[in-house]
Each structure stands twice: as structure tokens, then as C-alpha cells.
């Protein structure tokens, strides 16, 4: 008779009891082969196979589904040398939104504005399979500098001194999904468990190398978009960007780290690294506050924190319960494209958890550097 597999050590920072389906998913993950530690963030919510808002430590095995398909997805922020009053009137906000539509597409660049080539580091770093290399020069190029849909966003924000900041949330676009699907196909399915690969095997090394490429793509993708916004502010308003203020924080990755005196493969899916002094970005929703933070290096959380507020409603439930009128009320003080309001109901602030409650729940994980209020929100649909 087979003995039950011992469960991993689990630590959680929650604002409310876990829903039953999330609890089952977390317990299943804790019993998965080679999972030694599991940290559950306050923004945890259900996703297929592995919940969003988790950090998982293993000794030898790598689990692509514990990273997710949008490898390297994350945030970037940069300060502008102006104050928020520049967007105080509707005409200026509309002008900026129009510029964003042209220079920061949500899905792909039109043929006339398509980048001629990816940046040199992305070109010279070769992916593990010819099919992925072909996709890199096709889909990777077409989507380089694009936002994506769903919960991806570009936002203009103001800090306590009314200084203007821009923040973008995006990832590796179609390339991350293709890399994840390619390696999951090669691994194949495992009876009763998540697909995994030994990190030191050729297949594991190929996956890890492709993950590193996707993380680089995602970071440069965010930088291209922030650069485009900076150019718009210079052209429209005569305001320059403070490029020295730029920082990134990604929340879908796997890497080798030391915890509890030993080396582990730490997978983060919708959780960001929060080592002592490490800068991070934690957004709320399109109508609520966001935070710049530094990590506190809490070992029990695998030096991790939430990557945002986290959904409290599925997209289906949000579309069913949040009307256009409710969305307009929740976004009353923020500029956004009202023509897209019907399609944005599943991204309404009411579909997300209370970001202030999330920050209180993880006060041992992060230290708040600044709080920012949203001024203008740009999202793809």
C-alpha cells in the first residue's frame, strides 16, 4: 500500500478565508512531488492547475504551470518631470488617449508601424527550437511594444506630492504562451499530477533558457511602451521623463534561490520577489490606489509578495453583476475611454479585492515607499 506523499510546508497571508476551490487547489499543489515550501499571497485567486498568487519552492523539478504562460509578466514605473494637473482637463486626457492608441497598440502593430527588428539582445539569444525562433521573428516582432488585453494596463498616476508617474503592466505576449506550450508538449502529461521536468536535464535546461529569454522580452516590451509614452508627453505637453527613476518588477518566473539555508527552484505565479530592500510595484485596480514598495525579505513567504489586489470575482461573475452604470460610478474621477466601458466591466474596480486590505495583510512582506492614485487608465479590449 502506498503511503500518502507528505505535504509541503505552507504559509499564507490572507485577507479572508480561502474559497473552497482555491483551498483544494493549494492543498493539491502542496502534495505535488518535490514541492517543499508553498507561500500563498493575499491576492490569491483560482486559476487552472496552479492558483495565481503563489510562490513554490522545489529541490530538483521545474513546473511550467507554476510559472504560467505569460512568462516575465510584470510592472514597470517611471516618473515624469511634471505634476498631475497637466491631465486636469478632458481635452488633454483625450489627446493623450488618442496618442496611446496610435503608439501603444493593445494587440499588434499595424504593418506601417511594425518594428523592423527586435532589440539586439533578443535577436542574438537563440531559443531552444527552430519553431520558436521562427515565431520570435514573426509574432515576437509584431507584438513587441504592445500592451495585451485582460488585466494588462497603462496608467498615469499621481503620488502624494502630485508628481506624475506612469506605470505599465504587460508581459511576454504571444511568445511567452508559445514557449510554455512548446515545453509542456515536450514534457507530456503525468497521471494525477502536474507536468514537471528535472532542472538539470537537457529538457529542463532548454526550458529555463527560454524562460530567461521571455523575461528579457517582457522587460524590454515594457520599456518600449514607457519610452513611447515619454515621447508623447514631450511632444504634447513639453514634459520630460526621469529615466533614472525607472524600475521593473516581474511576477511570473522561476529561478534558483537560497532559502532556509538551502538552494531551491522558486516558482512565482502572480507573486513578485520581495527580498530585503528589493523594489516592487503592487497595483490595485483601474480605479484604486497602487503602491511602490520595497521587500522585507520574509523567509516564510519565500521572500515574495502579492503582485496586485487580486480578483474577487471571476470575469463571468463581474460581467453578470457589474453594469455599465456601476463601472462609470467606480471610475468617476479617472479618465478612460467610455466607448470601451461595456467591454471593461470585467475589469471594474468592484471585481477586485480591496488593495488596502491586501497591503495590510502583507505588511511583514513589504514596506510602502509611496502610494499613487490613478488619473488616466488605458486598457486593451
Catalytic residues: 307
Q: Is the dihedral of CA 193, 3, 24, 64 positive or negative?
A: negative
**Inter-residue contact 54 to 22 (CB < 8 Å):** no
H-state helical runs in 141-249: 141-142, 173-187, 202-237
Query: Cα–chain-centroid distance for residue 15?
Result: 20
* Whole-number Å distance between alpha carbons of 330 and 311: 16
End-to-end CA distance of the chain: 52
Cβ count near 373 (within 10 Å): 17
Q: DSSP assignment, residue 64?
A: G
C-alpha cell at 11: 504559509
* Whole-number Å distance between alpha carbons of 172 and 250: 11
Helix (H) and strand (E) counts in the chain: 10, 16
Element (H, E) at 265: strand 262-269
Amino acid at each position: 500500500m502506498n503511503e500518502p506523499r507528505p505535504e509541503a510546508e505552507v504559509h499564507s497571508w490572507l485577507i479572508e478565508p480561502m474559497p473552497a476551490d482555491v483551498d483544494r487547489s493549494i492543498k493539491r499543489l502542496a502534495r505535488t512531488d518535490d514541492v517543499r515550501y508553498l507561500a500563498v499571497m493575499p491576492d490569491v485567486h483560482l486559476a487552472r492547475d496552479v492558483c495565481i498568487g503563489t510562490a513554490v519552492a522545489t529541490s530538483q523539478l521545474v513546473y511550467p504551470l507554476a510559472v504560467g504562460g505569460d512568462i516575465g509578466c510584470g510592472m514597470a514605473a517611471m516618473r515624469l518631470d511634471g505634476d498631475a494637473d497637466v491631465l486636469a482637463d478632458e481635452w488633454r486626457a483625450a489627446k493623450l488617449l488618442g496618442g496611446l492608441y496610435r503608439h501603444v497598440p493593445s494587440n499588434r502593430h499595424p504593418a506601417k508601424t511594425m518594428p523592423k527588428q527586435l532589440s539586439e539582445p533578443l535577436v542574438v539569444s537563440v531559443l531552444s527550437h527552430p519553431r520558436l525562433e521562427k515565431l520570435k521573428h514573426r509574432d515576437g516582432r509584431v507584438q513587441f511594444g504592445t500592451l495585451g488585453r485582460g488585466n494588462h494596463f497603462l496608467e498615469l498616476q499621481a503620488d502624494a506630492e502630485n508628481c506624475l508617474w506612469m506605470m505599465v503592466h504587460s508581459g511576454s505576449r504571444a511568445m511567452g504562451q508559445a514557449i510554455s506550450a512548446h515545453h509542456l508538449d515536450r514534457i507530456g502529461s503525468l497521471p494525477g499530477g502536474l507536468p514537471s521536468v528535472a532542472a538539470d536535464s537537457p529538457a529542463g535546461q532548454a526550458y529555463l533558457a527560454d524562460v530567461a529569454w521571455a523575461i528579457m522580452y517582457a522587460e524590454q516590451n515594457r520599456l518600449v511602451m514607457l519610452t513611447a509614452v515619454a515621447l508623447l508627453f514631450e511632444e504634447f505637453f513639453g514634459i520630460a521623463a526621469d529615466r533614472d527613476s525607472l524600475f521593473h518588477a516581474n511576477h511570473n518566473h522561476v529561478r534558483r534561490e537560497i532559502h532556509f539555508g538551502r538552494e531551491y527552484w522558486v516558482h512565482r505565479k502572480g507573486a513578485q520577489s520581495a527580498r530585503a530592500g528589493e523594489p516592487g510595484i503592487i497595483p490595485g485596480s483601474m480605479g484604486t490606489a497602487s503602491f511602490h514598495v520595497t521587500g522585507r525579505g520574509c523567509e516564510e513567504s519565500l521572500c515574495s509578495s502579492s503582485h496586485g489586489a487580486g480578483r474577487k470575482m471571476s470575469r463571468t461573475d463581474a460581467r453578470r453583476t457589474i453594469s455599465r452604470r456601476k463601472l462609470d460610478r467606480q471610475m468617476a474621477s479617472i479618465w478612460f475611454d467610455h466607448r470601451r466601458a461595456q467591454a471593461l466591466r470585467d475589469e471594474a474596480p468592484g471585481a477586485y479585492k480591496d488593495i488596502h486590505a491586501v497591503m495590510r495583510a502583507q505588511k511583514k512582506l513589504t514596506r510602502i515607499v509611496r502610494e499613487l492614485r490613478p488619473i488616466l487608465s488605458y486598457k486593451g479590449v
